[in-house]
Chains A and B, each alone.
Chain A
Amino acid sequence: MNTKKIYSDERKQRNNFLSPRSPFFSLVISVFCLSLFFLFACQSQTQTSNKTTPAAKTETVSNLPKVTQIDAPGLKNLLKPNGRPLLINFWATWCGPCREEFPDLVKIGTDYKGKIDLITVSLDELSEINGDVPKFLAQMKSESPAYLLKTPDEGAAIGVVSKDWQGGLPFTILFNAQGETIYSKQGKFKTDVLVAAIEKILTVQSQRSSETKYQ
């Protein structure tokens, strides 16, 4: 990612690069300095994201989070980003890997609050909508909108989400604000890969908005 950021910065400065008046020596020095800067910035960010304890929240087990029941058409609507990148995690309380990755998911939700939308969709039985599902979410201190999918045909619903979803849990999918799939993973996600994908979307998004601003 460091390399990409360096290249990103180079693009911003490509007009200077191409200027015949620009001394080569100054260029090398400035690129070197920028490399150091971004290397340092990214390292501090990685250190921050390695912390596993989510930020302090006031949620308690007695105040269980609301879990909304949705059907297949409801799920289809959820897949549309609302002006921001959208991260969706499909999980179930009976799914070991889902439970294992959940703290990292909550951490990502906290770290990128306001920058991306995170929602979780449980595929537990409907009888758990006021039971194990909200209990687990409270235990995880999850504040993201939570849904429980109740559909007569899970296979059909899976097909609506992604052709890359083979039907296993967990499944995590990341859309950019335009609704394009940038990352998807069946099975436990790798936090660094997912975070890199989010960062990438946010970088591209900010470049797009600054380009629009200067047009």
Chain B
Amino acid sequence: MKKLIFLAAAIFAIAAFVVFNYISPYVFNKTSPNEALVVGSTVENFKLVDTNGAEKSLNDLKGKNGAILVFVSAQCPIVKQYNERISKFAADFAAKGVNVIGINSNHTESLEWVKSHAAENYKFPVLIDKGNVLADKLGANVTPEIFYVNEKNVLVYHGAIDNSRGGDNITENYLRDAVEANLSGKPVAKKTANAFGCSIKRV
């Protein structure tokens, strides 16, 4: 009987060894990034405060043909490189009924900082995502990063604005192509593209 108990204990020890040494590293050491909302999903209406402290919702701010949520930062150099292009497409798309909404989810950036950066660079509202709740919900990870939704808040495109952070070598205009295809009733060829930039500084 003792031998049986001993054998069972040995088998348990071996099993535990296998789990701890071979399985757990693959399960626990690989950190999973925030999963992004899948294109085709609906973005729930949300309410956040703007840089003046006024509460605004997605449905309040979107245009008749949808909205482009752009996650920004007041200090990220990549955002700075993109600011001119962001302002340009904001003006172009607003004329087509797609409004741009800036989102700042970085807990490291003060309201004053965000406010002055927005005033200097953008004509569209920038909302403060306190506690990165919206960033978590959408799975936003970097700045700048785009979530383009249609008039029904269905996600049409997610990711990079284009494929050249400096703007000097753009060969793919991901966002512009997606918006134009969608507005003309054509399928969007590239629905996602990796965004490169600064990590969103989460709480």
Closest to B13 in A: A10
Residue A99 interfacial (CB < 8 Å) = no
Q: Determine the interface band of chain B, counting residues with CB < 8 A from chain A.
A: 35 or more
Q: Is the interface of B mostly helix, strand, loop or mixed?
A: mixed
Within 8 A of B (CB), among A171-204: 181-187, 193, 196-197, 200, 203-204
Which residues of A are found within 8 Å of B97, using beta-carbon distances? none
Which residues of B are found within 8 Å of A56, using beta-carbon distances? none
Residue A169 interfacial (CB < 8 Å) = yes
Are B21 and A153 within 8 A (Cβ)?
no
Which residues of A are found within 8 Å of B194, using beta-carbon distances? 154-156, 158-159, 165-167
Residue A24 interfacial (CB < 8 Å) = yes
Given contact pairs A155-B193, A168-B199, A197 touches B10 in the complex (Cβ within 8 A):
no
Determine the distance from Cα of A193 to Cα of B29 in the docked complex, in whole angstroms: 7
Stretch of B30-38, B44-52, B113-121, B148-156 on the interface side = B30-38
Which residues of A are found within 8 Å of B25, using beta-carbon distances? 182, 197, 200
Closest to B2 in A: A24
Residue B181 interfacial (CB < 8 Å) = no
Instruction: Among B20, B160, B169, B197, point to the contact of A7 (Cβ < 8 A).
Output: B20
Which residues of B are found within 8 Å of A3, using beta-carbon distances? 20
Determine the distance from Cα of A170 to Cα of B142 in the docked complex, in whole angstroms: 11
Instruction: Among B3, B17, B26, B159, point to the contact of A155 (Cβ < 8 A).
Output: B159
Q: Shortest CB–CB separation between residue A127 and chain B, in angstroms?
A: 11
Residue A40 interfacial (CB < 8 Å) = no
- For the complex of A and B, 7 pairs with smallest distance between CB atoms: A168-B199, A155-B194, A7-B17, A166-B141, A154-B196, A168-B142, A153-B163
